[in-house]
Amino acid sequence: MQKEMSEFILEGIRIEEEYAKNLAKLSQNSLAAQEEGSLGEAWAQVKKSLADEAEVHLKFSAKLHSEVEKPLMNFRENFKKYMKKCDHHIADLRKQPASCYTSVEKARKALTEQQRDLELKSQQLEIELSNDGGGHQEGPEEVHTGW
């Protein structure tokens, strides 16, 4: 939409500039330049009026360019940059859940392996204890110190 608006404004600027150029050219016409009296004065006034109007249209086209078209183009460029930055940010945010899911899956596998190892060690300990035949084993409080 901004592109179409910018093109519309540019076309208006071109029309204003062309119109100003044609009015200025018309005001330079030497027709009736030799006329004297009231017709000469009226003709001079018409030519001055055309020159003044040409200047107004030229200034208007310059204002359209500096105060409408240029800010619109700047906005458009800044908007593009902002949208590109947002797209990158959104892409990064989309990667985060996948990364977190991968980390959770790794942790879950590690926990499962640790549980298996713990279960195996528990079973081995039970087997060792049962293989001892229920015999007496010295506990930490029964250690002989040699006294």
Q: What are the Cα distances from residue 78, in Å, to 9, 27, 71, 86, 87?
A: 19, 43, 10, 12, 14
Cα 31 to chain centroid, rounded = 59
C-alpha pair distances (Å), 98 with each of 28, 33, 68, 85, 102:
74, 83, 45, 21, 6
| pLDDT for the residue numbered 52 | 95
Q: Record the pTM.
A: 0.54
From first to last of its 147 residues, the chain has per-residue pLDDT tens of 778 888 899 999 999 999 999 999 998 887 766 767 778 788 888 889 999 999 999 999 999 999 998 998 898 889 899 999 999 999 888 888 888 888 899 999 999 999 999 999 999 999 988 888 655 555 455 555 554
Residue-level pLDDT at 135: 52
How far apart (Å, rounded) are the C-alpha atoms in residues 147 and 131?
A: 32
